[in-house]
Amino acid sequence: MRHYLITILALFLIIIIFYPAAALAHCDGNDGPVVLAAKEALKTGDVNLILIWVQEDDEAQIREVFEHTLKVRNHLIVHILIYWLPYSILFYH
């Protein structure tokens, strides 16, 4: 029985040690350069400030989200969209 418990414990430790954890870079946080660029892009209306953070294949999607955000920003939903755009960029980043 003791051998069985030691084996289970060893397997558990191996799984914990070698299980790949999610890698989060500074740029993926609320205070990182991606979100700050998205906020500045919304202030200035310049989508190019955020396109440097995404791959070319994703630029059309980001442009669409950006244009939609600019169109509705004077409505009640603006608070949701202002937070939604930076996280959309982080998703594609």
Number of domain units in the chain: 1
In this predicted model, which residue has the larger pLDDT, 61 or 20?
Answer: 61
Confidence tier at 12 by pLDDT (50, 70, 90): low
Q: Is residue 79 included in any domain, yes or no?
A: yes
User: What is the structure's pLDDT at 48?
Assistant: 95
In this predicted model, which residue has the larger pLDDT, 59 or 13?
Answer: 59
In this predicted model, which residue has the larger pLDDT, 1 or 72?
Answer: 72
Core vs surface per residue 24-63: b (16+ CB within 10 A) or e: eeeebeeebebbebbbebbeeeebebbbebbeeebeeebe
| d(C-alpha 48, C-alpha 14), whole Å | 45
User: What is the structure's pLDDT at 26?
Assistant: 59
Q: Is residue 2 included in any domain, yes or no?
A: no
Structural domain that includes position 45: 27-92
Q: Is residue 50 included in any domain, yes or no?
A: yes
Q: pLDDT (tens digit, 9 = 90+) per residue, 21-80?
A: 555 555 666 778 888 888 899 889 999 999 998 899 999 999 988 888 887 776 656 666
